[in-house]
Amino acid sequence: MFEKTHAMIQRGQEVVMNTYGRLPMAIVKGKGSIVWDIEGKQYLDFVTGLAVSSLGHSHPAVVEAIQKQAEEIVHTSNLYWIPNQIALAEKLVEHSFADKIFFCNSGAEANEAAIKLARKYAKEHYSEDKYEILTLVNSFHGRTLATLTATGQTKYQEGYAPLPEGFTYVPINDLAQLEEKMSPKVAAVMLEPIQGEGGVFPLEVEFLAKARKLCDDYGALLIFDEVQVGLGRTGKLFAYEWSNVAPDIMTLAKALGGGVPIGAMLTKEEVASTFKPGDHASTFGGNPLATAVGCAVMDVITEEGFLEDVLKRAQYFKLKLQKLADKYQTGTEIRGQGFILGWPLDRSGAEIVEGAREKGLLINFVGGKALRFLPPLNVSYQEIDGAITILDQVFAECW
């Protein structure tokens, strides 16, 4: 390993808690789809900080928004109105099913807010024992106690008992089980339209429609966790637009702040009005800096033609990936939509991830199931070709 990296890791291991299985590198600079580590080695970034830097690194609109706002004011708290927060809420309302927005700082916080809101709404409109939250097996909703309980994977829950009560799980795309688990006690059904951390598993439109219908029948709210797949990642502004199914609550985070932490919960007026002053809050939530950047990000993604272009390049990438999957006979179909794509492998992808990294391409392997590709939404055809060339070489060497 290189000297600077080695020294840095030794310092890090002394003082930073050991909660991540980190790769032995540090990224210190980025421009567009390219990043550089502390040794000066260059990489194509098809991870984008976990679907966060969707406009690529150091996008001029993001840089300008941060610089300008930093010179005005960074933080004021929600004791006062925040004009940038209002402006970002207006943009989200204009482009979605929602009427009202609550701002926080992360995906887990947005989901935590959604769970709290759904329970309070159910109690107010129905009964005290309507509190169950139905989620999917293999889902991912965050790491707070409530959201890791919502997460239908026991590996995230071990050691943290007792977990909050009232969470039930249904296998993905299983219509019969969904119907069976649905009851008057269910306050909300919470889903990722495409499971991201679980291994890139898209939900079938039929399943989403069934969830919508059952929620309507039982007076439950439908929550879409679009923390990863929202904001253009699938080639539509929101993943739910691929179906004819709109949720009652939607959560966003990752890409919204262009790398500045922000989360948002979006909902209809009828549901939003359940929360009264004091019912939920966040010190940092929707602060002037985060929401200034959020506005800049929204403006770029909603520019005319932006998403059409994303779809074209994403289609091109998916076809090329499928060709490689066929060439190396991994026997698999590339999953996903737009620029969240998964290449399922029947054994660990660690070697592929490492091989790609050595050759200058960053990707990751999720859920122990699939290589995941999350390039910047504005990645070029040339950069896609570059990534494909590297993958071809890596598979030729180690598959």
Ligand X SMILES: *Cc1c(COP(=O)(O)O)cnc(C)c1O
140 among annotated binding-site residues? yes
Report helix, strand or coil for 298.
helix
Residue 106 in contact with ligand X, rule: CB under 6 A: yes
Residue 142 in contact with ligand X, rule: CB under 6 A: yes
- Residue 140 catalytic? yes
The one catalytic residue among 210, 254, 318, 320: 254
119 among annotated binding-site residues? no
Residue nearest to ligand X (CB): 107
What are phi and psi for residue 78, nearest 5 degrees?
A: -90, 15
337 among annotated binding-site residues? no
Subset of 248-267 contacting ligand X (CB under 6 A):
253-254
Residue 338 in contact with ligand X, rule: CB under 6 A: no
- Residue 275 catalytic? no
The window from 77-85, 224-232, 293-301, 380-388 that contacts ligand X (CB under 6 A) reads 224-232
Q: Tell me which of 172, 182, 227, 245 binds ligand X, using CB under 6 A.
A: 227
CB of 46 to ligand X, least distance (A): 16
Nearer to ligand X, 227 or 264 (CB): 227
The one catalytic residue among 46, 102, 103, 140: 140
Angle formed by the axes of helices 381-398 and 350-358, to 10°? 120
Nearer to ligand X, 150 or 272 (CB): 150
Closest CA to 236 of 316, 148, 192, 301: 301
Residue 108 in contact with ligand X, rule: CB under 6 A: yes
Integer Cα distance of 360 and 41 in angstroms? 8
Residue 141 in contact with ligand X, rule: CB under 6 A: yes
Subset of 8-67 contacting ligand X (CB under 6 A):
none
225 among annotated binding-site residues? yes
Q: 182: which 2 tokens?
A: 């649905």
β-pairing verdict for 42-45 and 361-362: parallel
C-alpha pair distances (Å), 316 with each of 38, 268, 311, 357, 372: 32, 36, 9, 22, 16
Between the two ends of the chain, the Cα-to-Cα distance in Å is 24
Residue 197 in contact with ligand X, rule: CB under 6 A: yes
Q: 253: which 2 tokens?
A: 């985070």
CB of 105 to ligand X, least distance (A): 8
Binding mask 111-130 for ligand X (x = CB under 6 A): x-------------------
Q: 388: which 2 tokens?
A: 């494909």
- Residue 312 catalytic? no
Residue 294 in contact with ligand X, rule: CB under 6 A: no
- Is there a contact between 31 and 58 (Cβ–Cβ < 8 Å)? yes
106 among annotated binding-site residues? no
What are phi and psi for residue 276, nearest 5 degrees?
A: -110, 165
Closest CA to 135 of 178, 71, 106, 92: 178
Report helix, strand or coil for 351.
helix
The one catalytic residue among 45, 225, 238, 318: 225
CB of 144 to ligand X, least distance (A): 8
Integer Cα distance of 384 and 300 in angstroms? 21
Integer Cα distance of 5 and 34 in angstroms? 19
Residue 140 in contact with ligand X, rule: CB under 6 A: yes
Q: 70: which 2 tokens?
A: 């930093």
Cis peptide before 162 (omega within 30 of 0): yes
Integer Cα distance of 9 and 193 in angstroms? 37
Subset of 318-337 contacting ligand X (CB under 6 A):
none
Q: What angle do CA 100, 106, 110 make, to 5 degrees?
A: 40
Burial grade of 62 (CB within 10 A; 0-12, 13-18, 19 or more): buried
Nearer to ligand X, 226 or 383 (CB): 226
Residue 150 in contact with ligand X, rule: CB under 6 A: no
283 among annotated binding-site residues? yes
Residue 191 in contact with ligand X, rule: CB under 6 A: no
CB of 210 to ligand X, least distance (A): 20
Please report, in range form, the residues annotated as the binding site for pyridoxal 5'-phosphate: 107-108, 140, 225-228, 283
Please report, in range form, the residues annotated as the binding site for N(2)-acetyl-L-ornithine: 143, 282
State the residues that interact with ligand X by CB under 6 A.
106-108, 111, 140-142, 192, 196-197, 225, 227-228, 253-254
Residues annotated catalytic, as ranges:
140, 225, 254
